[in-house]
Each structure stands twice: as structure tokens, then as C-alpha cells.
Amino acid sequence: MTRLTKRQFLRLVGSAAGVAATYHTMNTLGLLGPESAQAATPDLPDGSGYGRRVVILGAGISGMTAAYELSKAGYHCTILEATGRAGGRNLTARAGDVIHEVDSRQWVDFDHEDHLYANLGPARIPYHHRIILGYCKEFGVELEMFTNDNRGAFFHNAERFDGQPVVGRRVMTDQRGYIAELLAKAINRNALDDDLTADDKERLLPMLVEFGGLDADYLYAGSNRGGYQGESVHAGLAPGDVNDPLDFSELLRSEFWEYKLHFSQFLNQNPTLFQPVGGMDAIAKAFETRVRRIIRYNSPVEEIRKTADGARVVHRNQRSGVSEALDADFVICTIPAPVLKDIPNDFSPETQAAIESVAFVPAVKIGFQARRRFWEDDHAIYGGISWTDQDITQIWYPANGYHREKGVVMGAYIWDDFPGQGERWANMSLPERLRTAIAEGEHLHPGYADEIESGVSRAWLKAPYQLGAWPESYQPPAEILAPDGAVYFAGDQITALPGWQEGAALAAHTVVNSIHARVMAG
Amino acid sequence: MTRLTKRQFLRLVGSAAGVAATYHTMNTLGLLGPESAQAATPDLPDGSGYGRRVVILGAGISGMTAAYELSKAGYHCTILEATGRAGGRNLTARAGDVIHEVDSRQWVDFDHEDHLYANLGPARIPYHHRIILGYCKEFGVELEMFTNDNRGAFFHNAERFDGQPVVGRRVMTDQRGYIAELLAKAINRNALDDDLTADDKERLLPMLVEFGGLDADYLYAGSNRGGYQGESVHAGLAPGDVNDPLDFSELLRSEFWEYKLHFSQFLNQNPTLFQPVGGMDAIAKAFETRVRRIIRYNSPVEEIRKTADGARVVHRNQRSGVSEALDADFVICTIPAPVLKDIPNDFSPETQAAIESVAFVPAVKIGFQARRRFWEDDHAIYGGISWTDQDITQIWYPANGYHREKGVVMGAYIWDDFPGQGERWANMSLPERLRTAIAEGEHLHPGYADEIESGVSRAWLKAPYQLGAWPESYQPPAEILAPDGAVYFAGDQITALPGWQEGAALAAHTVVNSIHARVMAG
């Protein structure tokens, strides 16, 4: 009779019932630490880590979180960081920065002002990302509100509504209105009598009037929620006529509704959202301040090996040009799967296969400095997002620096809506990316090109030591949820929060708790 | 044959076709100034007002706006302000302030910290209130984002859902889900075939899947938009089960949907919204700085009289105790109708009747300083509003000072949802208001009473020289839209934006343009 290894067992559970089951099984087996319903914030006893060496691969949010928590408990931690900076994908571009890609370098030519920056990696923090917000509180990182949802911003489809951008409040108001009108009709035709009690039916009709802004005959004839005709959006001195409803068939054909129109209904895009004042890297810098002395910068990992009582990490000291080895009781590896898969290692074939299976999204962001806040001046757009069916997908307006002279818009946020899209943009030359994004932006903002002073692009597919933005799947392979010997995997790639700093920090907490439990178990 | 006076004619038009018609007629007659489609921002020629005296009644936003614009053109302006402060209903309470009502005085016992204040009057500025935002830009009033809509805040009905507060994201998600499911059923039963082309029908079904988060069978079985079960709202390490949908019948009976659930769909409550950093009175103070030298404080108006070539305003100098008269070419009267109606005057009977007809809402606001930001710590609520069917109606969480020790919540915003409600609260003793609001707040936040350190209430019905919060009607009587002799009426009360600073400023612009046109016409 063949006995399943723990790993094989986990794998079976994982494939049969998904990650949740794997997680619960691992939890039961003690692999995630005893207390973690969903990875409790580590609160390790003082000195509980004395004499234990941990090597952490990557000084991103996950690696620094792990280092910070383990160090507090007395673990001897070293972070190996491949690049010259901490933060990983938490990347804010400012005047004078150099943005490296594998085959290019960009000098960021923004003005030197606090509000002129581009968050090229994560850019928002939802209210329920409590680990990251907890660190913001602990570290004194000042927050300001961010919004996805600006009803004054636009929806744009090149082939609908004569290719003209339509203001968000009209699209949202009319969609609700038409849906409410149709449902009211169906109810009044008794088409839903089998589904509704008389009582429910009686209450549902007035609810629909409220929901959609219907008239007394349960018809939708436009609503002042969508604004008034003419220059002044609001009622002004005397309410004029409200905007005519958008044509329903055209609205259906616009496909605004595919996800753009309910984007802020998504759990991680709900209000309230935040951004740190002055740039997202305020979080990275707050961590770095606390762990800087244990970071070895410019030290890319060359090999990850198992040893009799732990693991050994060979890394290159890029100053000396010499490769060095570090032995440790535990290794926490936050290296993104697209990079990790090519680092020589002693992982089991299953682990290696799992790592190779994790595909990353080739997202692209492009930030433009505008000489004039034309979105505010000309359109009363303050923050939020305009959506388009063009490649650029979105234009983000800055949620800071209101009413100042200049501002930085996110002129493209391409996350691979269409196959090959991200890769295509990654493979454009730097000037071509900017030129193309500006040309597409013109369709939302005629005259856009004249407003732009400088730009910076980030194709995460080409980011050194990243090679991608975040895992495509919300279900990481079971093998990387558990350690392979003394090597624990971390980063957002082991969570159901890919691309979110909360995932990175949650992964760190989970691994820290796991290591602690293993140490305590002797 | 009887000839209609201009006033009678206006009145006829007004009653027949509403304010819009009156407005257009007045515009045609030149009474509003030639250029005002919707009251263009005044841009009067330098010196065009030399030699003209204007007395402005009230140093609120409307009065100060008019004074600021007229003074720039050389008009000789004097503002008579009944109280010792400028700003009118723009009122921010801070440590050490004394809040006067007609029969009481309150000492504001908040801590001395920049983020601990209560905006007892206006508290938000929508993105399309371009006059006020324009002044914020011109005067350098720093803005920060405000949100009504926080999906982590609560809906509460004492008799529904066992009297427990329900988190906003679940209520909103489930309402959309149920509506989409019902409409999809009706469509699939062909109940709407007469209303939809085959094409539309084909597109509408996937739209409903997106809109409501339906499953492949067009059923709503809950959605991760409403969050996951357990402590962690988000998916965490591995997505668990999403929350079960709220019971549909109970949702219908909750009446959350009466207006609370779509509050942020309203035109003036849409994102993006703002508040000035440090308190709404930053706007009042910015105006006051620019017109202070022409304000006579503590100078309540006692009489408004017509003269041969203008008007005379008798006011009491409260320092000297002596009544004084000021003659002017024009008077701009921003005194709220409930106060104005009792000031002796020479207005026509029609004007006087119109003023008497304007009823104001007896809104009440109550601010509480909490010793701990329990809404953030315990519930991850950052800003936004919780709603209840109790008198307090709302609890606002501060959109500033995130993560600091203390905060000021708006513990009640009563605007007369039920007849007599505002008046009843106005007539409570000061301690009784606070006690009652705290007791009601307990139903949303058990332990609330222990968190509250101090409170301040404002019943606008009892505010000296205000006697109300804002006009009930969005359609001011035609008579006060036009001058009575040399007296022009202003304030939000002559607009379709009652209760909004934008209305106050728009009214001022309109009157300024009107006076300018009259002066130019000689």
C-alpha cells in the first residue's frame, strides 16, 4: 500500500475541492500556524526567534512585512533584494527617477512638486484591507480618500454614441431607469406573480420608482439624477429640462455595462478607498525605514538550495561581483513566480511545476504630466476614472493636488482585457507607448496632446525581477501554499488577493505564523 | 383697459408655468442682466460701479459673494451683519466656540485639534458646484474628498433584520441582484417581448448578469460583491463562502430603499464630493478676509424703506445701542425669509406675501467627539454615512483625521423626515438632544454612550437671525426673483439649490449682474 506524502495529500485535496479546502486542511495540519482563521496578525513572544536565521528573498511589501514581524520576535533576518530599491511593485515615479525595464531606461521628467507623481504599481487601498491600513496607522502613513467612481467622468466607446464620451451620471442613471421601468412593466403584467407574494409585489413597485427615478406611470423619462440640459449640471436658479435618456439600444450595444459600469460594486473597488498622501511608496518607505539595516540591495538570488537543517541561498553581490551563500533555518521567498521559475533550486518537481504554472498579467500603466488640470477646469472632473473601449482602457484623474496648476493623470491602465494587449504595449518602444496612449486619449479629451508635458510608462512584463504585474488566477496552486522543506513561499501570489498589497502582507503574516508554529513545535 | 405692471405680468407667468418660465421672461426683460443663461460669473468692468452705494444685508456666503464682486468693480458696499461673525449658515464648531440659539448658549467642549470640528451647516460640495469650487480655487481653500457612500457603513431599521444594522455593501449588492434576477425571469418568460427587440433582449440578459452578479442560470445566489462570510470581508488566502443574500421580503419591508439606498445617485450627492480641509468655514473665512473692512457686525436690520432714488436700511448698532440709517442706490437682501418677513418694510403686498410664503426646513445637526475612532477600529468604517429609521436619521463618520486617536461624528442629521420631527428636537433642552441622539446611536453602535466625550447640537429653527435651515421648496415665489424697487433678494432662497452654498453664490452673481445691467442701462 502506497502512503500519500503530506504534499501529495494536499495536492489531491487542492485539485478536488479548490484552494479553500486545501487551506482548511493545511490549517488543520498546523502548516499555517494554530491561530490563523485567516492569518491573524502575528503577535510572537519577545525573543521567541532568538538564534533562528531567516533569509527573505525580496524587499517588497511581503518580504519587508515578514522581516519586520520576525525581527520583532528576535529572529535574525536578512533580506536579499535584487534591485537597488525597496518596495517591489509598490512603485511611485517622481521627477528625476529612473524607471528600468529589461531593455530600456526612462528618466521621469515631471516637475519637482509633491503632488506630481504616478503610482505605477498599486494605487488604492480599500477600507477592508485591514493589514495594510493597520500598518499605515502604526507607521503614521497619512491617508487621503481615493475614488474610482466619479459621475462626472466619462464612458467612451468608439463605435457608440457617435464615438462621443458620455458622462457617467447619465449612463448610470439611465441604466437604472430602464431596468426599473422594464421590471415594473413585467410586474404590472403579472409576469412575476409566481415569484412574488402580493405583499412583496406591492412594495416592489414603489421601490422601483425610487431605484430608477420612474414617473407615476412607472415609466422612465429621464431623471434629474442624470443632470439638467445646458451648461449647468445642477438646477441652478430654476430647474430646466433634464437630459433626455440615452437611447436604450445604443446603451446595450455600448457594452459600458460589461464591468466598467459596476466597477465600484466590486468588493475591492468599493468606497471607501484610500491612497497615501504623496504617493503609494510612503508605505514601502515606512517599512524600509524599519528594516533597512537588514536589506542587502543589488543582490539577486542565483540559487536556492536545501541543506541538512535548512536552506542556503546563493546571491550575487553586484558591487563586488562575487557570489555569496547565506545559510538559514528558514527562507521566505517572495520572488514572483515568472522570475522564480528560472532560478536554480532543489524544489520538488511538484513545487517547480506549480511555480511554472503561475502566469502573471502583463499590465501596463502610463502616467502623464499635464501642464493644466484641464479635466478640472473644463469638465469639473475631480479624481475618478473615465473608461474607454480603446487599449488604454482607463484615464485616471488625480485624487490630489486639486485646483493646482499641473497634475499627473494615469493615461492608460492596460491589464490585458484583450489577448495579447499587454504584451503588445510592453513591446512598443517607450516613445511609441506614450504616443499611442496620447492618440487614444484624444478621443476622450480633444486637445489632449497639447496638454501633456511628459510621460512615463511601466510595462510590468518587462520590469526587472518582476516580469509581470500579478497572478492571473485567484487560486494559487496548492504546492506553493506550503513550504518546500525550509523554503516558504510568500507574496500576493499565494493568496486570493493577487495584485493587492493586502495579499502581500497577508501572505507574510501567514508564513510568519507558520514558521513560529514550527519553531514552537520544536 | 388695465395695464399689467411688470410685477403682475411676472407673477402671472410665474404661476402659470413655474419658475423656469418666470426666469426666462425676466431674462428677456433684462431684469437678470443680459448675459445670464444661468447667471454667468460677474466680470464687471473696472470702475463701473464708482459712485454707487450698495448695502448688503447679511454676511453669509451670498452677501459676501455679492460684496466681493461689486467691490471689485468699484461699487461702495457695506454689509450689515446681525451677528458677531461672518458665514451665516456656514458654521463650523470647534473647541471653545459658543453656539447661540434664541434661548440657549452652548460651549463647544471638543479638544483643541485641527481635525476635531463639526460642520453644523453645509458640509459637502459636489463637483458641479462650480461657483463655490471656483472661489475655493481663487482663494486657495484646500479641499479634500468627502464621501456619502461608504459600503462598509450601515443601514438600520429598528423593526427589520432583528433590529440589527446591516452593512451597506450587502444591502446594495442584494438589491441589484434581486432586481436583475426578477427582470431576467420576466424576459425569459417573454413577458417583455413587445418592449424589446430580439437584439436588445439578447444583450439585456448578459447585462443583467453583470448588473446583479447573477449566476449562469440568471439566478441571484449572493455575490462576492457583498463580501465573504467570517471576519475578513475580502477573499484573503482563499475565498470562502460569500454572504447569503438578505431575505428579499425583509429587504422590501426595511424601506432602506426609500431614498437612503440611492442617496448618492442624487445629483447633488454624487461623487466626487469635497470638504475644505479643517472645516467648511474655511470658505466663509476666505470671503471674510476679503470683505471684512466693509462688514458692520452686530448690526441687525430694523427697517427696510424705499426712498426717492434707492432705499434706506435702518439697523441697530449693538455696541452703541443706537439705531442708524444707511441710504443706498441698491440693497441686496440675503436675510432668510423667516426673519425677513417680520422686519418692517415698504415692500409691495405681493412681495411681502411671497416672503411670508417661504417656509424653511427645521433641520438639526448634532456633533459628538468620541474618545476613540471606534468606527475605524472596530468596523473599518472610514467616512460615509450610516442610515437609520430613528429620528437621528444618519450618523456621519469623519472624512478626515483617519487613524488618529479621536474624531467627531455627526451623530444626528434630522431634516424633518416626519412631520414635527425637527421642531420637536429644536424644542428639547440641549442635554436632552444629546442624550436622545446617543440613545438612538446605541442601536447602530452598542457601547456608543461610553465612547462619546462631548457634543454640540444645532437646531436651525432656533438659530438667531436664521430661524430655519433652508427653504422647503425648490421653487421660490416669482416675486422675490425680481427686485422690489431698489431692493434685490438673494441667498439660496431665490434659487433651485436651497441649502447649498452654490445657490447662495449663484443668487449673488445673478443679482450682481442684474444691478450692473440696470446701472449700464442708466
Q: How confident is the model at residue A8 (pLDDT cuts 50, 70, 90)?
A: very low
Report the pLDDT value the prediction gives residue B334, as an integer from 0 to 100: 98
CA atoms within 13 A on the CB side of B177: 26
Question: In which residue are the cell numbers 504616478 written?
Answer: A118
Residues in CB range of A76: below 8 A, 6 or more apart: A49, A51, A52, A53, A54
Element (H, E) at A501: helix A501-520
**Span A503-521, average pLDDT:** 97
Q: How many CB pairs under 8 A join A and B?
A: 293
Helix/strand/coil for B192: coil
Query: CB of A509 within 8 A of CB of A65?
Result: yes
* Distance from the A189 Cα atom to the nearest Cα atom in chain B, whole angstroms: 8
Q: Which range, A220-234, A410-424, B76-90, has the best average confidence (pLDDT)? A: B76-90
Structure confidence by residue, pLDDT tens digits, A85-136: 999 999 999 999 999 999 999 999 999 999 999 999 999 999 999 999 999 9
B195/A380 Cβ within 8 A = no
**Span B193-219, average pLDDT:** 97
Residues in CB range of B43: below 8 A, 6 or more apart: none
Give the burial class of B231: count Cβ atoms within 10 A of its Cβ; 0-12 exposed, 13-18 middle, 19 or more buried. Answer: exposed
Query: CB of B400 within 8 A of CB of B277?
Result: yes
- For residue B233, the chain A residue with the least C-alpha distance is A128
Query: CB of B358 within 8 A of CB of B352?
Result: no
* Distance from the B269 Cα atom to the nearest Cα atom in chain A, whole angstroms: 9
Structure confidence by residue, pLDDT tens digits, A188-198: 999 999 999 99
Query: CB of A314 within 8 A of CB of A322?
Result: no
A505: which chain B residues are within 8 Å (Cβ-Cβ)? none
Structure confidence by residue, pLDDT tens digits, A466-483: 999 999 999 999 999 999
Cis peptide before B272 (omega within 30 of 0): yes
Mean pLDDT, all residues of chain B? 93
Query: CB of A478 within 8 A of CB of A348?
Result: no
Rounded Cα distance, B297 and B274, in Å = 30
Question: In which residue are the cell numbers 534591485 written?
Answer: A83
Structure confidence by residue, pLDDT tens digits, B242-267: 999 999 999 999 999 999 999 999 99
ipTM: 0.92
A248: which chain B residues are within 8 Å (Cβ-Cβ)? 200
Residue type at B6 in one-letter notation? K
**Span A388-412, average pLDDT:** 98
Query: CB of B516 within 8 A of CB of B42?
Result: yes
Query: CB of B515 within 8 A of CB of B482?
Result: no
* Distance from the A123 Cα atom to the nearest Cα atom in chain B, whole angstroms: 16
CA atoms within 13 A on the CB side of A266: 14
Question: In which residue are the cell numbers 470647534 written?
Answer: B94
Report the pLDDT value the prediction gives residue B232, as an integer from 0 to 100: 86
Residues in CB range of A152: below 8 A, 6 or more apart: A167, A168, A169, A233, A379, A380, A381, A382, A384, B127, B128, B270, B272
Nearest neighbour of B382 by CB, restricted to A23, A39, A127: A127
CA distances from A200 to A312, B112, B192, B253 (A): 67, 52, 21, 8
Least Cα distance to B93 among B413, B366, B417, B501 occurs for: B366
Work out the percent of chain B whose per-residue pLDDT is above 70. Answer: 93
User: Is residue A69's pLDDT more than 90?
Assistant: yes
B240: which chain A residues are within 8 Å (Cβ-Cβ)? 20
Element (H, E) at B156: strand B154-156
Query: CB of A330 within 8 A of CB of A323?
Result: no
Higher pLDDT, A289 or B5: A289
Rounded Cα distance, B380 and B388, in Å = 19
Rounded Cα distance, B368 and B385, in Å = 15
Strand order in the sheet with A143-146: A125-126, A273-276, A143-146
Question: Rounded to two decimals, what is the model's pTM?
Answer: 0.92
Rounded Cα distance, A71 and A52, in Å = 10
B208/A38 Cβ within 8 A = no
Query: CB of B451 within 8 A of CB of B370?
Result: yes
Q: Across A417-504, where does the E strand assignment appear?
A: 452-459, 470-471, 487-489
Rg over alpha carbons for chain A, rounded to the nearest Å, is 26
* Distance from the B224 Cα atom to the nearest Cα atom in chain A, whole angstroms: 7
Cis peptide before A272 (omega within 30 of 0): yes
- DSSP tag of A429: -
**Span A30-55, average pLDDT:** 73
Rounded Cα distance, B4 and B15, in Å = 15
Nearest neighbour of B185 by CB, restricted to A130, A136, A195: A195
Structure confidence by residue, pLDDT tens digits, B334-380: 999 999 999 999 999 999 999 999 999 999 999 999 999 999 999 99
Report the pLDDT value the prediction gives residue B21, as an integer from 0 to 100: 44
**Span A440-455, average pLDDT:** 98
Query: CB of B308 within 8 A of CB of B329?
Result: no
Structure confidence by residue, pLDDT tens digits, B400-458: 999 999 999 999 999 877 889 999 999 999 999 999 999 999 999 999 999 999 999 99
Least confident piece of the model among A162-176, A405-419, B422-436: A405-419
Least Cα distance to A145 among B375, B273, B115 occurs for: B273
User: Is residue B4's pLDDT more than 70?
Assistant: no
Q: How confident is the model at residue A288 (pLDDT cuts 50, 70, 90)?
A: very high
Report the pLDDT value the prediction gives residue B419, as an integer from 0 to 100: 85
Query: CB of B412 within 8 A of CB of B391?
Result: yes
Structure confidence by residue, pLDDT tens digits, B225-237: 999 998 889 999 9
B461 phi/psi in degrees, rounded to 5: -60, -30
User: Is residue B174's pLDDT more than 90?
Assistant: yes
Q: How confident is the model at residue A39 (pLDDT cuts 50, 70, 90)?
A: low
Report the pLDDT value the prediction gives residue B39, as an integer from 0 to 100: 52
Rounded Cα distance, B398 and B372, in Å = 12
User: Is residue B18's pLDDT more than 50?
Assistant: no
**Span B179-186, average pLDDT:** 98
B372: which chain A residues are within 8 Å (Cβ-Cβ)? none
* Distance from the B321 Cα atom to the nearest Cα atom in chain A, whole angstroms: 39
Query: CB of A243 within 8 A of CB of A228?
Result: yes
User: Is residue B6's pLDDT more than 90?
Assistant: no
- For residue A264, the chain B residue with the least C-alpha distance is B225
Structure confidence by residue, pLDDT tens digits, B306-328: 999 999 999 999 999 999 999 99
- For residue B507, the chain A residue with the least C-alpha distance is A237
Element (H, E) at B333: strand B330-333
